[in-house]
Structure 1
Amino acid sequence: MDVQVQGDMLVIQPDRRVVGSQVASLLTTALALPDRFVRTLFHQQRVLLGAVPATPVDLVGKSKLRLKGGVVEPYGVDGWQASPIAEVLHADDHLFVVNKPPAILVHPGGPEDADTLAHRVAHWLHAQGLERKVRHVHRLDEGTSGCILYAAHAYAARALDHALANKRVERTYLALVHGRLPQGRGRIELPIGRDRHVAGRHRVTQNGLPAATEYQVLREHAQRGHTFSLVACRLQTGRTHQIRVHLSHLGCPIVGDTLYGGRRMLGWRQETSGIALHAAQLSLSHPYTGERVAVRADLPVSWRSVLPWFARAMAETAGAERGDGGWPSIPRATAREIES
């Protein structure tokens, strides 16, 4: 099934797999659109079969299906002209992945937040000649860097939300932590809830929501009587501050993460460098083509002072598509940077 953007419209060319199905079924299954959203499209007569408004029970034939609107929209943020342009790692007509710098917000919480990733994405969209609403599919904490997935229009936003909710978006992080984890590889399965005693903080609690994080220790380093570990983490759930809470609970807080017991050291300035947590890789099956999309973000310069500690681990994994046990390798450019 071919899905294309044409102006302010999504155009679907059915294939043999969907010919004969009802239009509503195609929208909810093949395009992964929510039932309520689909009902709204029909009510507003935004679904066309050929050139005629369709009904939910019309049968799909060889004619193109068109969804009106939902593509060309205002950015949703003001003042983006003063922000730098976002670094986009992958883009097509339906989705794109942005490399978030450390120590900036994903979106503004008020007028005082004048330079967020949303501002930078709006600037990038403008530079591409696109007027699209800035739609992040998931978020990263202010101090965290790396891959964030964005939807390029309202239809892709619903499909990607569906993929995320069904654990079809795989996210792998690199964390530099204090101490040594109890084993080289494991799964942390502990519920997380708000800390009633510290505003903005979360903690492991029996009354919290289920949370699961897989991890693998890539390398350990001893420095002046202290041990530091480079850890790859993979989210199985998406709770607030999940990796930070889980690692801290095991006695291994992330470097620079003072909220959860990490220390400001090694030249790590939290206010400019964020915390030592980086969304290194994001992968998913494209919602329309089914092709695998895998994107990597190189570590930010704030990691440069500690990367030589783990040069061997970087060199061992550089160039490998997948690491041991299905874990992704550390980005190649990072390994080259250490060697130079």
Structure 2
Amino acid sequence: MALSAWLRQELSAAAHPLLWQPDLDHGFLHRLDVPSSGLILCGATFSGMLTLRWQLDTYQLERQYVVVCHNLVPAELKEVVAYIGPGSLYSRKSFAGEGGKPASSQLVALSHASGVCGSYGVLAIRIRTGRRHQIRAHLLFKDHATATDAKYAAKTALVRGL
């Protein structure tokens, strides 16, 4: 069941009409990509959604993530600053490099592991801008694709497994 359908099942239309508004994304302001887990931000009322939107737009909310990525991450890699844009007009993938919108991701290497399956890093990442697939695109840009990411990791990395 879709999360928006579950919310509509749990909360009444009379008290929460926003959840029935597809043009307003059923109140959803922020979500992680499907293969991820974590925060989903949704306003159940119009005033709640607008308050949350204001907090997001004025950087009142801080978004932090823990990510497992391929390859050992050098300690000096503290920030990735690169423009994020779509690969093409119809692409659902984002790429870091020239064009697109400015984006910044702050990184802290928490741990590393190496073995027969390869080398991995565990990163704490804080983003401010929140572009589509920003973390995935920034890590790929620095040759540290997110682990088990079929959309962004090289096929050879996926074959290695975790």
Q: One fold, TM greater than 0.5?
A: yes
Q: Show CA shifts across 1:96-150 (max 9, x none).
A: xxxxxxxxxxxxxxxxxxx222122223325xx9741331121221222111122
Q: Secondary structure at the match of 2:40?
A: strand
Residue 68 of structure 2 corresponds to residue 176 of structure 1: yes
TM-score, normalising length from structure 1? 0.41
Residue 8 of structure 2 corresponds to residue 122 of structure 1: yes
Residue 37 of structure 2 corresponds to residue 158 of structure 1: no
Q: Which runs of 5+ in 1 are unaligned?
A: 1-114, 267-340
Q: Which has the higher contact order (CA 8 A, sep 6+)?
A: 2
Alpha-carbon distance in structure 2 between the residues aligned to 1:137 and 1:197: 23
Closer, same or farther in 2 for the Cα pair 1:176/1:217, shift >3 Å?
same
Aligned pair count reads 150
Alpha-carbon distance in structure 2 between the residues aligned to 1:117 and 1:171: 21
Alpha-carbon distance in structure 2 between the residues aligned to 1:201 and 1:221: 28
Closer, same or farther in 2 for the Cα pair 1:180/1:130, shift >3 Å?
farther
Closer, same or farther in 2 for the Cα pair 1:123/1:242, shift >3 Å?
same
Return the offset for 1:238: 1.0
Closer, same or farther in 2 for the Cα pair 1:165/1:226, shift >3 Å?
same
Return the offset for 1:225: 5.9
Q: Percent identity?
A: 25
Alpha-carbon distance in structure 1 between the residues aligned to 2:75 and 2:28: 35
Question: 2:146 maps to which residue?
Answer: 254
Question: 1:215 maps to which residue?
Answer: 107
Closer, same or farther in 2 for the Cα pair 1:184/1:218, shift >3 Å?
farther
Question: 1:136 maps to which residue?
Answer: 28
What RMSD in Å do the two structures reach over aligned CA positions?
2.2
Q: Which runs of 5+ in 2 are unaligned?
A: 20-26
Q: Show CA shifts across 1:152-178 (max 9, x none).
A: 311121121111011111111111111
Instruction: Pick one of 80, 84, 103 that aligns with 1:188.
Output: 80
